[in-house]
Structure 1
Amino acid sequence: MNPVLRLSHGLLCGRHHSAALGGMRMLHATVSSRYAAPPSLAGIQASQLQKTLTTSPKPILPKEDLVFGHTFSDHMLTVDWTSTKGWEKPQIKPYGPLSLDPSCSVFHYAFECFEGLKAYRDAQGNIRLFRPDMNMVRMNSSAERLYLPQFEGKEVLECIKELLRTDERWIPEGKGYSLYLRPTLISTENTLGVHCANKAMLYVIASPCGPYFKTGFKAISLYCDENNVRAWPGGVGNRKLGANYAPSVGPQVAAEKKGYQQVLWTIGEDFELMEVGTMNMFVYWRNEAGEVELITPPLDGTILPGITRDSILELTRTWGEFKVSERKINMRQIAKASQDGRLLEIFGAGTACVVTPVKRIHFQGTDYNIPLDPTNPDAQAGPVTDRIYQTLFGIQYGDVPSKWSVVVE
């Protein structure tokens, strides 16, 4: 992992940009101070937030009927930007359609990036967020790559907190339920020319949800795609851009038709592991040297710097019970480890699902079964995967004390 976020200052497309590159760890202390707008342009100011409340509140669905990303709360947050004035006053207003010209460059050239985080309800009724400052760092990194305007992360978080207070009734109670937040940044300039945007909009919508997978916390099967790649060196795999996701739908549908739930993305002749669907990937095994090791692919520019990924690395390193590595590993090594009985557990990790255990991988005509818990034939996860899941789950809902859990006052 690169040591610290390196930032360069300059004027691009008539405004200030900072380069947010590298890893996620150790960045939370620098978020608010390094993304300020230049003196000539207005930055986002939470103190200027204006609210217009809906006159027609929507009915709340029973939480058991929630489908991920299908139901939305009463209100949304929007902030407009222009290259001449900077950011306008933030607005909380009734959820509804955006009015955009058909020529907007977001429609034609994919000037769009987004984030995903959740608000949780703890046992005392408090609203909690999990490491939201890291989402702001990553979104600014994505914005920088698209030459979209950056923002003061601390100010946007304060606006998001007010949105949560406004739509508090939409945060479901109970473990496994949350309010998913989708910050999005798009170009709204009316032009067919390919150049950096002079108009943009940041908006946040909220969706109550239950478990991401309908099956709940259960092991999934993977199909190793030998023909398509999710990202490549020098590309934008380390940014959360909408353009990274649409091309993955075809391979995902093909994998499902073959009886597998997710695609295992690889790259190169040795099929180096990249990601699992839209999740970071972890392998827990006994390596060739006989060491028990947890591995995840390194942040080499092709891997999304997941916040859950970073949390797992930091958490397991504090345990000090096995080797924890960020290094390359390929499917040929996985196949050999499976044949040798050295493969212990594999799982994916991300905001939507937290942790998802893997039970089977199809690679070059062979299904490789991944051990779960040999002491429990009904187990859906191995002991390390389950421990990671339960710990992060406990932090998110406030049961496990941690600096990562932020209470919305």
Structure 2
Amino acid sequence: MAITQITSDTIESVLPAPLTVPVPAELDASKLEIDLASELKAVPPASELTFGQVMTDHMMIAHYDPVNGWSAPQIKPYGSLSVDPASSCLQYATNAFEGMKAYLGPDGKPRLFRPQMNMQRMETSGGRLALPPFDTNELLKLIKKLVLIEQRWIPTVPGHSLYLRPTIIGTRSSLGVAASDRATLYVICSPTGPFFRTGPKPIALFAVGEHVRSWPGGTGGYKLSLNYASTFRPQQVAAKLGYDQCLWLLNGTIAEAGAMNVFVVLKRDDGALEVATPPLDGTILPGVTRASILELVAAHPSKTTLPGLDPSIVLHPAERTMTMADLTEWSEEGRLLEVFAVGTAAVVAAVGRIGYEGKDIVLPAHEGALGPVARGMYDRVTAIQDGRFDWQDWCVKCE
């Protein structure tokens, strides 16, 4: 009887061909599709702009599904989204976003302020919600293109800018409590003026301890939509009491002011000034403006002199835990010189008083609302943003 020798080639000839599993596509800016609006809206005067009320003509959008991956991104006319009522974003708040701004420089070209920091934070925020990942370098390319298309919406009035809101939402249409394997990524734009309409006067804060904004091990260190909803009711109470924003506390420890990072300026025994902010312990959002303020404080006066500040004034940056008891004591001792809040929307906002346990801590008054340190920070940061002062390549042109 003949014996057939079985070889590897024989085996492969009778086995079914291996299945080809498609690799989900990455977000790719080179695949951008552009559909411009047939009619453009009128740009309102800068004096009529209120934060987040007016949207530009176009938006950027891309979708993800677990089989195909990211769709070709589109820039198209601004319009509504269509989501299933059972979508994860509606049922379980699987939403993360960023806040950033575009400015026109002296050369007439639009630019972004430290956008890589926003991209890094958006990546970590989306990861905290287990949303589908994407290449943030590609998103930044898409944002630059959108800004170039919407360049006419960038106000040229000082203190104004084009606010950008990159957003990712989970779109898995199931009530099952699980991570969303589908997502929509989009960017919308809104021309804006000063965040606070208080004019030259400083804002008032109402210290809130019974309603906690963030807690250890929670999500306060990420820019998630779910972090904001629980703050609206206490904010309404603060407004009825005559305050502009809440100063969030955790067991008496100071966290944030509204949706902003908070700084205090303390007079030291050696005559120098300490510019302090709460540490990033997981309950504090790592703000881009916050990081920039700390770096500029460290640079004065050795590397740069901040506007309005004498070079003989030495500033020391500090990240330290602070309590309301500390603020009260520093105020009574005359060491508390300034309190100010910082963020993308407001840049730098002076604080005039802080309500706590039925009393107000009143800060020293300054001409023009901002104290010397806060004024120096505001003037320097906005000059960098507008391209009037070149510093550390913080501004990135949209080209």
Q: What is the TM-score of this pair, normalised by structure 2?
A: 0.89
Q: Is it true that 1:400 corresponds to 2:389 in the alignment?
A: yes
Q: Is it true that 1:384 corresponds to 2:373 in the alignment?
A: yes
Q: Is it true that 1:75 corresponds to 2:58 in the alignment?
A: yes
Residues 178 and 256 (structure 1 numbering): CA distance in 2 closer, same or farther, change over 3 Å? same
Shifted more, 360-369 versus 39-48: the winner is 39-48
Question: Structure 1 unaligned runs (5+)?
Answer: 1-38
Kept in 1, the 8 Å contact 2:46–2:157? The answer is no
Shift of 1:291: 5.8
Kept in 1, the 8 Å contact 2:200–2:368? The answer is no
Give the aligned partner of residue 79 of structure 2.
96
Distance 1:217 1:237 in 2: 31
Kept in 1, the 8 Å contact 2:289–2:347? The answer is yes
Q: Is it true that 1:316 corresponds to 2:297 in the alignment?
A: yes
Q: Is it true that 1:306 corresponds to 2:287 in the alignment?
A: yes
Superposed CA deviations along residues 147-169 of structure 1, whole A, max 9, x for unmatched, are 00222111111101111111111
Secondary structure of the structure 1 residue equivalent to 2:231: helix
Shifted more, 228-237 versus 82-91: the winner is 82-91
Kept in 2, the 8 Å contact 1:218–1:356? The answer is no
Superposed CA deviations along residues 206-243 of structure 1, whole A, max 9, x for unmatched, are 00111111124541111111311110000000000100
Alignment partner for residue 124 of structure 1, among 107, 110, 134? Answer: 107
Distance 2:269 2:62 in 1: 53
Residues 217 and 145 (structure 1 numbering): CA distance in 2 closer, same or farther, change over 3 Å? farther
Kept in 2, the 8 Å contact 1:46–1:155? The answer is yes
Shift of 1:372: 3.5
Residues 379 and 170 (structure 1 numbering): CA distance in 2 closer, same or farther, change over 3 Å? closer
Q: What is the TM-score of this pair, normalised by structure 1?
A: 0.87
Superposed CA deviations along residues 64-91 of structure 1, whole A, max 9, x for unmatched, are 1111111111100001111222211111
Give the aligned partner of residue 263 of structure 1.
246
Residue identity opposite 2:37 in structure 1:
T
Q: Is it true that 1:134 corresponds to 2:127 in the alignment?
A: no
Alignment partner for residue 349 of structure 2, among 340, 356, 376? Answer: 356
Kept in 2, the 8 Å contact 1:344–1:372? The answer is no
Distance 2:271 2:114 in 1: 35
Alignment partner for residue 279 of structure 1, among 232, 240, 260? Answer: 260
Alignment partner for residue 370 of structure 1, among 342, 363, 374? Answer: 363
Shifted more, 242-251 versus 284-293: the winner is 284-293
Secondary structure of the structure 1 residue equivalent to 2:345: coil
Residues 389 and 327 (structure 1 numbering): CA distance in 2 closer, same or farther, change over 3 Å? same
Residue identity opposite 1:371 in structure 2:
P
Shifted more, 114-123 versus 272-281: the winner is 114-123
Q: Is it true that 1:248 corresponds to 2:228 in the alignment?
A: no
Shifted more, 385-394 versus 318-327: the winner is 318-327
Secondary structure of the structure 2 residue equivalent to 1:337: helix
Alignment partner for residue 236 of structure 1, among 219, 228, 232? Answer: 219
Give the aligned partner of residue 305 of structure 2.
none
Distance 1:327 1:390 in 2: 25
Give the aligned partner of residue 18 of structure 2.
none
Q: Superposition pairs for residues 7-46 of structure 1, below 5 Å? A: 40-46=23-29
Shifted more, 320-329 versus 220-229: the winner is 320-329
Q: Is it true that 1:212 corresponds to 2:195 in the alignment?
A: yes
Aligned residue pairs total 365
Residue identity opposite 1:319 in structure 2:
H
Superposed CA deviations along residues 106-132 of structure 1, whole A, max 9, x for unmatched, are 111101010000011123311011001
Give the aligned partner of residue 275 of structure 2.
294
Shift of 1:41: 2.9
Shifted more, 287-296 versus 133-142: the winner is 287-296
Superposed CA deviations along residues 241-279 of structure 1, whole A, max 9, x for unmatched, are 1000011000111001001111000111xx111000000
Identity level (%)? 46
Structure whose CA Rg is larger: 2
Shift of 1:287: 5.2
Residue identity opposite 1:243 in structure 2:
L
Distance 1:391 1:41 in 2: 44
Question: Structure 2 unaligned runs (5+)?
Answer: 1-21, 302-313
Shifted more, 51-60 versus 209-218: the winner is 209-218
Secondary structure of the structure 2 residue equivalent to 1:245: helix
Residues 187 and 225 (structure 1 numbering): CA distance in 2 closer, same or farther, change over 3 Å? same
